[in-house]
Structure 1
Amino acid sequence: MEKYFLTAGRPDKAKTPTPVGIPFDRYSSYRTGKMREAAQKVEGLHCATGTGPKTQTIFMGWDEKAVRQAALCHANKEAAEDRASEKQREEKRDKLHQKYLKSLEGKGRQMTCSPVGHYIVDWEEIEQGWDDVKDLTLDINETDQDGIFRVVFDFGILVGVMLICADKGKLNAHVSYLGAEYESEEGDTGKSESDEEEHAEDENEDEIDNGGSGTRDRKRKSQASAPPHEPRKKSRTVGAQPFQYFIKFRCRETGEGELYPEPKEGTLRFKDKRMAAFLGKADMPRVGGKIPFVARKISNVSRPNRKAWPDYSDCGVN
Structure 2
Amino acid sequence: MPRDPITRDGFESSYGGFYVVDVGSHARQFSGRPHTERIEAARLKAMFLPRATSEANKMLRTHVEFVRCQLKHYGVEFDEGEFSGKGTGLMKKILLAGKLDKVPPHIEALRKEMHQEWLAQLTLEDVSGNPGLIMEKYFVDGAGKPVKSRTKTPVGIPHGHSSSFYCRQLREAAENVAGLHHATADGVATQMIFLGWTKSTVEKAAKAHVAMEAKEKKAAADKKTAERDAEYEEYLADKQDDDGDGSPCGEYIVDCEYIEDQWPDSAEDMTMSIQRTSRDGVFKATFDFGIVEGIMILGRDEGLVEMLSKRRDGGIGGDDDEEDEDEDEGDSGDDEPPVTTGSKRKGKGAPRGRPAKKGKTTKGSSSKSLKFFVRLRSKDTSEGEISYIPMNGFIEFGGKSGGKKGKGKKSGGNPFSSFTGKVGLSGIGSNIAFTARKVSDVGSIGYARWQDYSEREYERANASRWGSSGWGSRGW
Q: Do they fold alike, i.e. is TM over 0.5?
A: yes
Cα distance in 2 between the residues matched to 1:248 and 1:78:
40
Alignment partners' CA distance in 1, 2:323 and 2:250: 36
Which of 151, 164, 172 in structure 2 is aligned with 1:16? Answer: 151
- Residue of structure 2 equivalent to 1:121: 254
Cα shift at 1:94: 0.9
In structure 2, distance between residues paired with 1:135 and 1:187: 33
Alpha-carbon displacement from aligned partner over 1:227-268 (angstroms, at most 9, x marks no partner): 559xxxxxxxxx954211111011111222222111110111
Q: Secondary structure of the residue that 2:303 maps to in structure 1?
A: helix
Q: Distance in 2 between matches of 1:22 and 1:34?
A: 12
SS of the aligned residue for 1:3 comes to helix
Residue 170 (structure 2) aligns with: 35
**Residues 188 and 217 of structure 2 are in contact (CA less than 8 Å); yes or no, is this contact kept in structure 1?**
yes
Gapped regions of structure 2 (runs ≥ 5): 1-134, 325-350, 358-365, 400-413, 462-476
Find out whether 1:294 has 2:431 as its counterpart. no
| Partner Cα distance (1:161, 1:278) in 2 | 17
Q: CA deviation at 1:183?
A: 4.4
Q: TM-score, normalised by structure 1?
A: 0.79
Q: Does 1:259 align with 2:386?
A: yes
- Structure possessing the higher radius of gyration over alpha carbons: 2
Within the candidate set 312, 315, 318, 2:456 is matched to 315
Q: How many residues align?
A: 273
Contact 2:420 2:436 in 1 (8 A): yes
Report how far residue 276 of structure 1 moved. Answer: 1.1
Q: CA deviation at 1:290?
A: 0.6
Per-residue deviation, 1:132:
3.0
SS at the partner of 1:175?
helix
Q: 1:185 to 1:75 in 2, by over 3 A?
A: closer
Compared CA separation, residues 54 and 64, structure 1 to 2 (3 A): same
TM-superposition CA deviations, 1:3-36 (whole Å, max 9, x none): 1111333211111111111111123311111110
User: Structure 1 vs Structure 2: percent identity of aligned residues?
Assistant: 37
Residue 125 of structure 1, CA deviation? 2.0
Q: Name which structure has the greater RCO, CA cutoff 8 Å, separation 6+.
A: 1
* Aligned residue among 167, 177, 202 for 2:311: 177
The answer (yes or no) to whether the contact 1:46–1:63 under 8 Å persists in 2 is yes
Aligned residue number for residue 445 of structure 2: 304
- 3-state SS of 1:315 partner: helix
Alignment partner for residue 58 of structure 1, among 178, 193, 196? 193
2:201 is paired with a residue whose SS is helix
Q: Would you say the 8 A contact 1:117–1:139 is kept in 2?
A: yes
Q: Residue 395 of structure 2 corresponds to which residue in structure 1?
A: 268
Conservation of the 8 A alpha-carbon contact between 1:97 and 1:298:
yes
Whether the 8 Å contact between 1:177 and 1:227 is mirrored in structure 2 is no
Asked if the contact 1:48–1:67 (Cα under 8 Å) also holds between the matched residues in 2, the reply is: yes
RMSD: 2.5
Distance 1:187 1:99, change over 3 A: closer
Match of 1:4 in 2: 138
The equivalent of 1:204 in structure 2 is none
Evaluate the alpha carbon distance shift between residue 184 and residue 247 of structure 1 in structure 2; reply closer, same or farther with a 3 A threshold: closer
* SS of structure 1 residue aligned to 2:138: coil
Work out whether residues 276 and 282 of structure 2, in 8 Å CA contact, stay in contact via their aligned partners in 1.
yes
Kindly provide the amino acid, as one letter, of the partner of residue 159 in structure 2.
F
TM-score (norm 2): 0.54
Quote how far apart the aligned CAs of 1:226 are. 6.0
State the 1:121 CA deviation.
1.2
8 Å CA contact 2:303, 2:356 repeated in 1:
no
CA contact (8 A) 1:114 1:241 kept: no
- Tell me the residue number matched to 1:196: none
Contact 2:312 2:320 in 1 (8 A): no
| 1:225 corresponding residue in structure 2 | 353
- Residue aligned with 2:265, SS: coil
Residue from 217, 241, 257 that aligns with 1:82: 217
